[in-house]
Amino acid sequence: AVLPGINSLGGLCHETERKEPSNKGEMEWWAQAEGVVGFLNAWEVSGNNQFLRAATGLARFITSYFLDLHGGEWYYRLNPQGEPISTYDKAGFWKCPYHNSRMCFELYRRTENLLREN
């Protein structure tokens, strides 16, 4: 049910409605990070490679659009075209590195487990 929420750029929309195309929505940092973890969870439980492709696609999207390679940290929110919305701070009361750090730790742990198994 979440896959229709991925827009044409490959990002997960913060909010969407069934009647509204998913490319109309803005995208927030935490939804991308938790989306990667969630898609990996779905893949591990189901074995359905659609979820693995969604996780890797979303990780690529994060690298291409959410990372501020010059100023550091992730952008808080992007418009539907994938551009940072400058009225949002990169750190603040609601924005901290919890979700992005959690995603990185989960990816590291799961990669280590896969390497041990093979």
Query: What is the structure's pLDDT at 90?
Result: 87
Q: 21: pLDDT confidence band, cut at 50, 70 and 90?
A: low
Rounded (10°) angle between helices 29-46 and 98-117: 30
Asked if residues 12 and 25 have their Cβ atoms less than 8 Å apart, the reply is no
Rounded (10°) angle between helices 49-61 and 29-46: 160
* Count of domains observed in the chain: 1
**pTM for this entry:** 0.86
Task: Tell me how far CA of residue 17 lies from CA of 20, 24, 55, 85, in angstroms.
Answer: 5, 10, 22, 22
Domain ranges, residue 91: 3-117
Q: What is the mean pLDDT of residues 91-95?
A: 86
Q: For the chain, where are the alpha helices, taking DSSP H only?
A: 29-46, 49-61, 98-117
Structure-model confidence comparison of residues 3 and 21, the more confident one: 3
CA angle 61, 108, 58 (to 5 degrees): 15
Q: 23: pLDDT confidence band, cut at 50, 70 and 90?
A: very low
